[in-house]
Amino acid sequence: MVWRPAPPRPIGPTMTPDAPLLPARRAAPLLVLLLVLLAGPLGCRLDKVEVLGVTLATEQARQAEAAEATKTPQESQETGETGEAPEAPPEAERDGADQPAAETTAAPTETPPDPEPAEPAGSDQPAPAVEPPTESAGPRVAVADRRAAEAALEMLAAGGSAVDATIAAAMVLTLVEPQSSGLGGGAFLLHWDAASQSLSAWDGRETAPAAATPKRFLGPDGDPLPFPEAMVGGLSVGVPGQLAMLEALHRESGRLPWADLFAPAIHLAENGFEVSPRLAAMIAGDRHLASQPRARRYFFQRGADGTLIPHPAGSVLTNRDLATTFRLIARHGAKAFYEGEIATSMVATVAEAARPGDLSLVDLATYKPKRRDPLCRGYRTVMVCTMPPPTSGGVATLQMLGILSHFDVPAMRPDSVLAAHLLVEAGHLAFADRNRYLGDPEFVEVPVETLLDSGYLETRAARIRLNRSLGRAAPGELAALPPRGAGLDRELPSTSHLSIVDQAGNVVSMTASVETAFGSRLMTRGFLLNNQLTDFSFRPTDAAGRPLANAVAGGKRPRSSMAPTIVLGPDRQPMMVLGSPGGSRIIAYVAQTLVGLIDWRLDAQAAVALPHVAGRNRDLAEIEDERLRRPLEAIGHRVERVEMTSGLNILLRDETGWHGAADPRREGVVLPPIEREDSPR
């Protein structure tokens, strides 16, 4: 399907293109009222509140003076201001357990007051160092590993398209970042075609084998299997979809021969590559990898006393099995993967696992990627485009933005308590709807239009109070749908994201995954097989017997949180390309980064370096910045500090060209093009 830009469908109040992104503050009485409201829950004394009111005003004046003093002469003339270590599985949760009843939310009788910025407590902690963004007027690549980025640049220098560069990078990532993505996994992708001025969405999500049933992950006693038991082995393996998706897209938008795209990965696999610090840490920290014979032989070495030693950072690995696999696919296309000896090897590996699965040759041979309509909605003066279901990432991200559009977020400081509070609350509300209503649209009715309706999101926003946490939010009651339960499904962080712009202005935003780190831990033909089926709800119904949208079914795609995103500017041209790994926290990462770029006008590097906050409707506010703990607890949040290993890779266009930034939490890079005399100009 082809989608061309049209006037945006807003998900909340919008501003005209000439309106300032930093609107004027409300009158002083509103500020005083807000401070009084905050005084009780924050545990502030009255005299402290009075001082704070003065401090806020003088701080605003001080910041304005400081900003004026630091302007360059050119800026002074302008009228506008530019203003994963391994993670343990979360605590066990059962689908539908302790979920609030859905509520029919009434239209708000009053507009929620615009919040004012508040200083986090304990501001003696230094802010993290932020590197300057990388800039270029030419093509750019932002990829999770330097070697994959270099492969992408090699294709661009040879005259290849963004699609060619994506495929070359994805194959190298299979080799050098096997814990995150690869041939044995799936992906979601957005593609902007500059010539036709159109955007397409590509679904390479894994599917459940045809033999899968809703009780797949229930034990003999009828209770869900412990997550590690379900995850490791053949039961969790879905039909891989990434390669079929990439081949279908290459037929439409590739420029270079298919075989050429595999050359960098083949070279590295045969001649060796250095184990990165992150890969070494992931190998050493994984409790299940050594239990699988092929993975044990590849990722570990034997010490003099016979003990297993994980390959350390800097050691050199070769993977000749994978090089052979790449050569077959390069020569014969994706058919060599989905049929023939590679397919036979995948089926046998799954069937022979300690906890076997039911992947079949027919499942592989009949897999088809999906081309879908992208999901685009207006936010402020731009249009945010992302993936539709079966991923929940796009809908939930747009819901968060639609809810936040009812608050004066641009007037807040990025490190303020109120900004964190609103991001968490918007996340709780979006996840409440996600857990109840989102799944594979070919198996369940997914009310996307209703969930993104501006009136509906206004009623959701009206539930937020500035001085008190919602706690666990109830999903909205959508009367047109039959009763449905809400499932709390595990989705652990791994995954990889890349953003690429080529010489002609074509754009790719792709998020790919094998699900948890190292997927099922099953290895065959040099690559790891996914465990994406554990993204399904383990129970088919909730505690009340209501069916779950994300229940297992043969041929069904499990719900995801991946959210590759392309933002179109007022000129209806791509101006932001981004996405992230991170399991279900992807939604929080992408939404917060969009707020940073659009509302706070941060540059790309400052946006990816923002300390994360996340609300996933588990009655918990997750934070990175410890300074937020006490003020958030004071307004009713249960707070946990979490190491959130996002891997955002951003490209951002302005009048000088494309700027890039890679998340400092991982090993991603942004690289300029390789300059050659025969390169297209």
CA angle, 98 as apex, 456 and 104 as ends, to 5°? 20
* 98-112, 471-485, 513-527: range with highest mean pLDDT: 513-527
Q: What is the pLDDT of residue 98?
A: 40
**CA atoms of 530 and 520, how far apart (whole Å):** 5
Q: Please answer whether residues 508 and 163 qualify as being in contact, where contact means their C-beta atoms are separated by less than 8 angstroms.
A: yes
**CA atoms of 173 and 243, how far apart (whole Å):** 13
Is 480's pLDDT higher than 80?
Answer: no
pLDDT band at 30 (very low <50, low <70, confident <90, very high): very low
pLDDT band at 21 (very low <50, low <70, confident <90, very high): very low
More confident residue, 250 or 643: 250
Q: What is the pLDDT of residue 10?
A: 78
How far, CA to CA in Å, does 157 sit from each of 1, 139, 427?
Answer: 30, 10, 41
Determine the residue type at 122: G
Q: Please answer whether residues 2 and 198 qualify as being in contact, where contact means their C-beta atoms are separated by less than 8 angstroms.
A: yes
**CA atoms of 252 and 305, how far apart (whole Å):** 55
* Range of weakest confidence among 16-20, 65-69, 263-267, 470-474: 16-20
User: 584: annotated binding-site residue?
Assistant: no
How far, CA to CA in Å, does 539 sit from each of 95, 219, 247, 389?
Answer: 6, 11, 35, 20
How far, CA to CA in Å, does 83 sit from each of 75, 104, 595, 606, 652?
Answer: 11, 39, 13, 12, 15
**CA atoms of 16 and 292, how far apart (whole Å):** 58
Is 133's pLDDT higher than 80?
Answer: no
- Neighbouring C-beta atoms of residue 23, cutoff 10 Å: 12
Q: Which two tokens stand for residue 406?
A: 């009812």
**CA atoms of 69 and 652, how far apart (whole Å):** 27
**CA atoms of 550 and 558, how far apart (whole Å):** 7
Domain boundaries, the chain: 1-57+85-220+371-477+493-521+558-681
List, for residues 164-212, the tens digit of each pLDDT value: 999 999 999 999 999 999 999 999 999 999 999 999 999 999 999 999 9
**CA atoms of 40 and 614, how far apart (whole Å):** 24
Q: What is the pLDDT of residue 486?
A: 56
**CA atoms of 579 and 648, how far apart (whole Å):** 6
List, for residues 303-330, the tens digit of each pLDDT value: 999 999 999 999 999 999 999 999 999 9
Q: What is the pLDDT of residue 11?
A: 75
How far, CA to CA in Å, does 423 sit from each of 451, 578, 590?
Answer: 18, 19, 11
Is 130's pLDDT higher than 80?
Answer: no
**CA atoms of 52 and 642, how far apart (whole Å):** 30
* Single pTM value for the model: 0.83
Q: Token match 């004026």: residue?
A: 68
Beta partners for residue 507, in sequence order: 192, 501
Q: Phi first, then psi: what are they for 78, rounded to 5°?
A: -80, 150
**CA atoms of 61 and 84, how far apart (whole Å):** 40
**CA atoms of 61 and 248, how far apart (whole Å):** 56
b/e per residue, 657-673, with b = 16+ CB within 10 A? ebbbbbbbbbbbbbbbb
Q: What is the pLDDT of residue 666?
A: 97
**Burial status of residue 64 (CB atoms within 10 A of its CB: 0-12, 13-18, 19 or more):** exposed
DSSP-derived 3-state class of residue 114: coil
Q: Please answer whether residues 274 and 315 qualify as being in contact, where contact means their C-beta atoms are separated by less than 8 angstroms.
A: yes
Q: Please answer whether residues 397 and 591 qualify as being in contact, where contact means their C-beta atoms are separated by less than 8 angstroms.
A: yes
Average pLDDT over residues 519-536: 98
Q: Token match 């649209």: residue?
A: 441
Is 492's pLDDT higher than 80?
Answer: no
Q: Please answer whether residues 482 and 150 qualify as being in contact, where contact means their C-beta atoms are separated by less than 8 angstroms.
A: no
Rg of the chain, C-alpha, whole Å: 25
Is 469's pLDDT higher than 80?
Answer: yes
Q: What is the pLDDT of residue 57?
A: 33
Q: What is the pLDDT of residue 504?
A: 96
Sign of the four-CA dihedral 206, 210, 211, 213: positive
Q: CATH topology for 1-57+85-220+371-477+493-521+558-681? A: Glutamine Phosphoribosylpyrophosphate, subunit 1, domain 1 (3.60.20)
Q: What is the pLDDT of residue 55?
A: 26
DSSP-derived 3-state class of residue 387: coil
**CA atoms of 368 and 371, how far apart (whole Å):** 10
Q: Token match 């003020």: residue?
A: 631
Nearest to 156 by CA among 671, 508, 658, 502: 502
Beta partners for residue 310, in sequence order: 300
* 6-10, 36-40, 370-374: range with highest mean pLDDT: 370-374
**CA atoms of 465 and 56, how far apart (whole Å):** 21
More confident residue, 21 or 446: 446
How far, CA to CA in Å, does 334 sit from each of 247, 322, 330?
Answer: 7, 15, 8
Average pLDDT over residues 241-263: 99
Which strand (E) or helix (H) includes residue 302?
Answer: strand 300-302
Q: Which residues are catalytic?
A: 495
Q: What is the pLDDT of residue 49?
A: 24
Q: Which two tokens stand for residue 436?
A: 């109840």
E-assigned strands of 85-184? 134-136, 140-143
Q: Please answer whether residues 166 and 579 qualify as being in contact, where contact means their C-beta atoms are separated by less than 8 angstroms.
A: no
Q: Please answer whether residues 182 and 174 qualify as being in contact, where contact means their C-beta atoms are separated by less than 8 angstroms.
A: yes
Q: Token match 């308590």: residue?
A: 417
User: 200: annotated binding-site residue?
Assistant: no
- Neighbouring C-beta atoms of residue 98, cutoff 10 Å: 11
pLDDT band at 421 (very low <50, low <70, confident <90, very high): very high
Nearest to 499 by CA among 562, 565, 561, 598: 565
User: 360: annotated binding-site residue?
Assistant: no
Q: Which two tokens stand for residue 442?
A: 């070919």
Average model confidence (pLDDT) across the chain: 84
pLDDT band at 558 (very low <50, low <70, confident <90, very high): very high
SS3 per residue for 61-75 = HHHHHHHHHCCCHHH
Q: What percent of the chain has pLDDT over 90?
A: 75
Q: Token match 């009843």: residue?
A: 101
